[in-house]
């Protein structure tokens, strides 16, 4: 059984610490965000992902970002993670996530990479870094992809510039620094998340 489609906004908590993950995630969930990833290059990421999944796994799609190897998929699944996000297109990572019934959201830049990801079983893709390519790139790639494939824009997309991306047909966005940077309080994160959710709903 595959996990449900990812929600339209995925919060990327790069650099989050295990001591703050629950408070930060609580603020995100309260603001209406239902996708949360802890990048694997954060401090003690598996500890944070475990705490995140224990606290909010029933309310949000929680998991790992910057996943670069199939064995890391196993580690993330072992602590309860259901979301596997990559910056690149690695068929072995995608296949492993799909085998375990997790939601894979691999990064792609070109149509070739997008089709490699789809062939490996991904149902959601992220254009990364989106700002380098622009909305017209997503529109063109979406024209040739299977209609049921969700395309997210990640990297340089946020509350201030959503409109052209929405017009290009994105299913959602992944947002990092606009929502969370090391040193932000949970309250700050909550306020930023509320503004982003409002912009998405506008």
Active-site residue list: 37, 126
Two structure tokens written together for 7: 């929600």
Question: Does residue 29 contact residue 2 with C-beta atoms inside 8 Å?
Answer: no
- How far from chain centre, in Å, is Cα 197? 15
Sheet holding 103-105, edge to edge: 103-105, 83-85, 61-65, 35-39, 9-12, 172-175, 150-154, 124-127, 107-108
Question: Residue 171 in 3-state DSSP?
Answer: coil
Calculate the alpha carbon distances from 125 to 79, 85, 182 in Å.
24, 9, 27
Query: No. of H helices and E strands in the chain?
Result: 9, 9
Sign of the alpha-carbon dihedral angle for 92, 96, 99, 105: negative
Closest C-alpha among 87, 86, 110 to residue 96 = 86
């Amino acid at each position: 059984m595959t996990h449900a489609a990812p929600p339209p906004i995925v919060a990327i908590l790069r650099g989050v610490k295990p001591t703050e993950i629950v408070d930060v995630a609580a603020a995100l969930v309260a603001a209406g965000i239902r996708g949360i990833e802890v990048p694997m290059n954060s401090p003690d990421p598996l500890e944070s992902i475990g705490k995140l999944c224990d606290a909010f796994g029933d309310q949000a799609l929680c998991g790992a970002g910057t996943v670069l190897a199939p064995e890391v998929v196993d580690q993330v699944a072992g602590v309860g993670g259901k979301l596997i996000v990559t910056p690149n297109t690695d068929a072995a990572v995608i296949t492993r996530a799909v085998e375990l019934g997790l939601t894979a959201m691999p990064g792609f830049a070109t149509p070739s990479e997008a089709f490699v990801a789809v062939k490996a079983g991904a149902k959601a893709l992220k254009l990364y870094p989106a700002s380098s390519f622009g909305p017209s790139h997503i529109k063109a790639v979406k024209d040739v992809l299977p209609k049921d494939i969700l395309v997210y824009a990640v990297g340089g997309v946020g509350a201030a510039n959503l409109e052209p991306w929405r017009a290009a047909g994105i299913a959602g966005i992944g947002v990092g620094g606009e929502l969370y940077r090391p040193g932000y309080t949970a309250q700050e994160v909550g306020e930023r998340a509320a503004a982003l959710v409002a912009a998405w709903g506008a």
